[in-house]
Amino acid sequence: MTNRFALQSRELETFMGQMFVICPHCGGRADVMEKGDEVRLSCLKCGHLQMKQTGTKYIGGAFDVHFGLPLYLQISCCGHVLWAYNREHLDYMKRYIEAMIRTSKGTNRSLESRLPEWMKRKQNRDEVLRAIERLELVWERG
Ligand SMILES: [Zn+2]
């Protein structure tokens, strides 16, 4: 039995609990988290700390929702930018693409997902998967 539960479509919002951005101070990996009505950016590498009130949201691009800073996990792919808020988000996309590659060879059960159309296109899937794997390495290096 395939892992159907893990492949349920998820809204982008469900990955926004903790987002990783490029630290504006040192270029390392910093996290952005919302706590109550405040948002905090903190870098484990250099200790940089930034706070703001929740408010403006930057949704749907390679930047975090609150500060609008470039995401740590992003890479050029198929003429687009493939990005993820965090490792869980990256894993989710990987499972989807892998499942699409598998099902396109077997049954034609369609997988519902909110991934961008270009990522789902059959001719792009292998490149998308390679890009995701490169981001995994970026993440492992920290
Ligand atoms: Zn830093």
**Tens-place pLDDT, residues 41-85:** 999 899 999 999 988 788 889 999 999 999 999 999 999 999 999
Looking at the structure, do residues 60 and 80 belong to the same domain, yes or no?
A: no
Task: Give bridge partners of residue 60 from the DSSP assignment.
Answer: none
Cα 58 to averaged position of ligand 1 atoms, centre (Å): 21
Q: Report the C-alpha gap between 141 and 109 in whole angstroms.
A: 37
Q: How far is the centre of ligand 1, averaged over its atoms, from the C-alpha of 122 (Å)?
A: 38
Q: In this structure, are 63 and 77 located in the same domain?
A: no
| Rounded Cα gap, residues 56 and 8, in angstroms | 29
Same domain? For 92 and 142 the reply is yes
How many structural domains comprise the chain?
A: 2
pLDDT at 6 exceeding the cut of 50:
no
Domain extent, residue 33, equals 18-71
Q: Supply angle C-alpha 136, 137, 140, rounded to 5.
A: 90
Ligand 1 geometric centre to CA of 16 (Å): 20
Q: What is the DSSP letter of 62?
A: S
Pairwise CA distance, residues 101 & 20, whole Å: 28
Pick the residue with more confidence: 9 or 110? 9
Cα(100) to ligand 1 centroid in Å equals 37
Kindly state whether residue 34 falls inside one of the protein's structural domains: yes
* Residue 100 confidence (pLDDT): 86
**72-121 pLDDT tens trace:** 999 999 999 999 999 999 999 999 999 888 887 655 455 667 788 999 99
Global pTM value: 0.88
Determine, yes or no, domain membership for 125: yes
pLDDT at residue number 4: 46
How far apart, in whole angstroms, are the C-alpha atoms of residue 120 and residue 117?
5
